[in-house]
Amino acid sequence: MIKNFVLDTNVIVHDPNFLNNFQENNIIIPLICIEELDNLKKREGLVGYQARKALRIIGKLRDEKVYLNEGILLPTGGKLRIETNHMDLSGLPDAMDVNKNDNKILAVTKNLAKISKDQTILVTKDLSMAIKADSLNIKVEDYQSDKVDVETLYKGYSEVYLTSEQMGQIFNGGLELPDEIAEGVYPNHFFHIKNIENPSHEMLAKFNGDLIIPLKYINDTAWGLKPINREQKMAFELLMDPDIHLVTISGGAGSGKTILATSVALQKVIEMGVYRKIIFVRPVVAAGNDIGFLPGTEEEKLKPWMGAFYDAIDNLFDSKNKNNKKHETVDSFIDMYREKGIIETKTFNYMRGRTLSNALVIVDESQQTTPHLAKLMLTRAGHDAKFVFTGDPSDNQIDNILVDSKSNGLVYTIDKMKPFDITGHISLKQVERSPLAELAERYM
């Protein structure tokens, strides 16, 4: 049965490629949404960029023979229509402000539902809009095409029991993946293995796509930092492995995401010269802030948003310089390497159009990105580049109104990129920042 999907503006901005995700159904965009996109296209940052892209995609459908308000046939078999009629607001309750664009979209949807023989559904990512639609007996849905089931989200490791013989094979050339533990296992999946005969005998190992093998970097340090707990050791293995080009690390505040990534970046770039530069990226605009009109240079504008990077280096200095009387300030250290072109701090505004080759790129707070923006970031990858996405995908750590815990760029990337041998993911569980931070993360 064909359905009519009336789109709210926030859906179009969330995913400019929305046209491909409604199969053979009708997509209806109220004209007021085009007006809103026209206003949003002038904004700097993520919202402006995605509004402009959406308008370009819709604009490409224009046909000299068929007007958009009549319905343009889509490759999916459905139709796209710009709705210019059914703006009668008299059916709305007196309590609703008829001057608000959201309420005009609700009126269009309600009026279409009355006259259409097909089911009419409003699609929105705005909770207040959904509540109002429900109160008006309008069928309403969230945009589901990029939703990820966070309850079953891949965490990157599992706990298993093996025999002494099997554990011995891991150390002697590797063990073929037993069928009984193969479910949900992808390349670069980790195992916390316990001995069936003696559970106190345990080890960490990794599936490399062919065999289960021991960890290679378990005794290494990076810039003076040694991973503390089980999950950190797994994440460290992924970060240190030059054959893995995308690492995703999720976890709560204080679990060590940023300091692990930063320590390996400093080790790989400054100490070892494996990569030419470190690029530290924060999606500041997605959190509701725009740096475009702030005074100062790009670096001066960005500095308030790069606190996690500065803090990580400051803490690493304590490990790196324990036996060294010469101490640098974090600012002078970063400024020195920035002048040499070895360290860059950027927002997404400054990344479009670039090709990032021979660089280690850390995308911090990546739960603030949309799936579209996460893809845009990864398509910047040039030869010999390594990307690290870190973040906490829980709802209380997301400020971007376009995403939530199920639809942000971090969980989308984890879910879509898990099957490949050049990618790896770990979910960090333990808070190592301090006992107070652990209590706050757990109980507040």
Under CATH, which number does the domain 3-141 receive? 3.40.50.1010
Q: Are 373 and 286 in contact (CB under 8 A)?
A: yes
- Domain spans, the chain: 3-141, 228-443
Residue 95, token pair as written in the block: 């309590």
φ/ψ (deg, to 5) at 360: -105, 115
Other C-beta atoms closer than 10 Å to the C-beta of 352 total: 10
Q: Are 278 and 359 in contact (CB under 8 A)?
A: yes
Q: How many residues does the chain have?
A: 444
Residue 284 has pLDDT above 70, yes or no: no
Question: For the whole model, what pTM was predicted?
Answer: 0.79
User: What pLDDT does 289 receive?
Assistant: 44
Residue 247, token pair as written in the block: 């690492």
User: What pLDDT does 89 receive?
Assistant: 92
The two domains 3-141 and 228-443 share their CATH topology (first three levels equal): yes
Residue 32 has pLDDT above 60, yes or no: yes
Could you tell me the pLDDT band of residue 288, with boundaries at 50, 70 and 90?
very low
Tens digits of per-residue pLDDT, 147-162?
Answer: 787 788 999 999 999 9
Contacts of 137 (CB under 8 A, 6+ apart): none
User: What pLDDT does 395 receive?
Assistant: 83
Residue 325 has pLDDT above 60, yes or no: no
Type of residue at 26: N
User: What pLDDT does 147 receive?
Assistant: 75
Could you tell me the pLDDT band of residue 294, with boundaries at 50, 70 and 90?
low
Specify the higher pLDDT residue, 222 or 286: 222
Helix (H) or strand (E) holding 184: none
Under CATH, which number does the domain 228-443 receive? 3.40.50.300
Cα–Cα dist 148/150, whole Å: 6
Tens digits of per-residue pLDDT, 414-431?
Answer: 999 999 999 999 999 988
User: What pLDDT does 430 receive?
Assistant: 86
pLDDT-above-70 percentage for the chain? 92
Q: Are 6 and 30 in contact (CB under 8 A)?
A: yes
Cα–Cα dist 45/348, whole Å: 7
The per-residue pLDDT of the chain, averaged, comes to 89
Could you tell me the pLDDT band of residue 41, with boundaries at 50, 70 and 90?
very high
Residue 322 has pLDDT above 60, yes or no: no
User: What pLDDT does 444 receive?
Assistant: 67
Residue 287 has pLDDT above 50, yes or no: no
Q: Are 5 and 145 in contact (CB under 8 A)?
A: no
pLDDT-above-90 percentage for the chain? 67
**Averaged over 182-199, what is the pLDDT?**
95
Residue 286 has pLDDT above 50, yes or no: no
φ/ψ (deg, to 5) at 162: -130, 165
Give me Rg for the CA atoms of the chain: 25
User: What pLDDT does 432 receive?
Assistant: 80
User: What pLDDT does 300 receive?
Assistant: 66
| Residue 298 backbone zone (phi > 0: left; psi -120 to 50: alpha; other: beta) | alpha
User: What pLDDT does 184 receive?
Assistant: 93
Residue 301 has pLDDT above 80, yes or no: no
DSSP SS3 for 387: strand
User: What pLDDT does 235 receive?
Assistant: 98
Tens digits of per-residue pLDDT, 331-360?
Answer: 899 999 999 999 998 887 667 778 999 999
Strands (E), 118-231: 119-123, 140-141, 157-162, 175-176, 189-195, 202-207, 211-214
Tens digits of per-residue pLDDT, 91-150?
Answer: 899 999 999 999 999 999 999 999 998 999 999 999 999 999 999 999 999 987 777 877
DSSP secondary structure string, 35-88? HHHHHHTTSSHHHHHHHHHHHHHHHTT--SSS-TTT-EE-TTS-EEEEE-S---
Specify the higher pLDDT residue, 312 or 285: 312
Cα–Cα dist 60/22, whole Å: 18
Residue 362 has pLDDT above 50, yes or no: yes
Specify the higher pLDDT residue, 78 or 291: 78
Type of residue at 28: I
Helix 307-320 crosses helix 330-339 at what angle (to 10 degrees)? 110
Specify the higher pLDDT residue, 250 or 48: 250
Lowest average pLDDT, out of 176-180, 238-242, 326-330, goes to 326-330
